[in-house]
């Protein structure tokens, strides 16, 4: 019993080659989607199953090493979890994503006026707008 429990706990996050490779891929490709991460991982490792990458991303996200976010209309994207509380700006025309610091301090808007009894632990902010490139060369509106 005790032995097994210990083993289970220590095995909470095994160090495997796919995990290291996925972690490196996310570091190299900020805000990458799953497919980009899969491609990058295969470049450094050779064959890796797509299921493995999904599993690894989920495990690392649960462990707090990665942060997952999903702008409306986009697939899931990942970045290295850093301590700050930065947010994301997304371009409405080309989908470009940039990191943005929040002006409100450490926990922006977390003190909501009317929280309906919810106990909140995170405020996820997505800013929508236009990136510099799309401002200069507006995409054809049809």
Partner DNA sequence: GTCCTATCTTGACTGGATCAAGAATACCGG
Partner DNA sequence: CCGGTATTCTTGATCCAGTCAAGATAGGAC
**Interacting residue ranges for DNA, rule: CB under 7 A:** 3-4, 6-8, 10-19, 33-35, 47-52, 54-56, 58-59, 70, 75-76
Residue 29 within binding range of a copy of itself, rule CB under 8 A: no
| Environment class of 22 (CB within 10 Å of its CB; exposed 0-12, middle 13-18, buried 19+) | buried
For a copy of itself, the binding residues in 106-135 under the rule CB under 8 A are: 108-132, 135
| Environment class of 78 (CB within 10 Å of its CB; exposed 0-12, middle 13-18, buried 19+) | buried
59 interacts with, out of DNA, a copy of itself, none, CB within 5 to 8 A per kind: DNA
Of the chain, the end-to-end C-alpha distance in Å amounts to: 65
Cβ of residue 117: shortest distance to a copy of itself, in angstroms? 4
């Amino acid at each position: 019993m005790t032995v097994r429990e210990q083993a289970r706990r220590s095995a909470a996050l095994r160090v495997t080659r796919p995990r290291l490779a996925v972690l490196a891929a996310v570091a190299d490709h900020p805000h990458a989607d799953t497919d980009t991460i899969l491609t990058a991982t295969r470049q450094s490792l050779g064959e890796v199953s797509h299921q493995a990458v999904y599993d690894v991303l989920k495990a690392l996200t649960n462990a707090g090493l990665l942060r997952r976010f999903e702008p409306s209309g986009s697939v899931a994207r990942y970045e290295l979890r850093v301590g700050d509380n930065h947010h994301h700006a997304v371009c409405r025309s080309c989908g470009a994503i940039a990191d943005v610091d929040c002006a409100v301090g450490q926990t922006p808007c977390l003190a909501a006026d009317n929280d309906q009894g919810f106990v909140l632990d995170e405020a996820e902010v997505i800013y929508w707008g236009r990136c510099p490139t799309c401002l200069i060369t507006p995409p054809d509106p049809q």
